[in-house]
Amino acid sequence: MLKLLESLISISRENNIKIIIHFVKCKGKLYIDKELKAMDEYGNIAPWNRAFPGIHIQNILDQCRVKKVEVYKGSELVLETGDMSEVLSRFRRGF
């Protein structure tokens, strides 16, 4: 799972995009903007232990099921999907 996050970070850097991953069981969100950050339920950048209490970064994708993934170019939403691998495939073949 960490490989998947590393790939998303690389795609964010190469394409100058922002990725927000929402979860079903967790209130926090993952925010990828050239690096991995945690967001609280209000959309603010927050310390990891406040956004995801009791969950280590390497276990986030195993313990919290992905609800949706949003991809932004600037402030424009360019992709919304429920599958992180779709983001990888779209940007690898040229969005």
For the chain, domain boundaries = 2-90
Predicted local distance difference test score (pLDDT) of residue 45: 98
- Give the helix ranges, DSSP H, for the chain: 2-15, 48-51, 60-63, 84-92
Distance CA 93, CA 31 (A): 23
Global confidence as pTM: 0.91
Distance CA 27, CA 14 (A): 29
Output 22 or 25, whichever has higher pLDDT: 22
Residues 7 and 59: beta-carbon distance below 8 Å? no
In residues, how long is the chain? 95
Average pLDDT over residues 32-46: 96
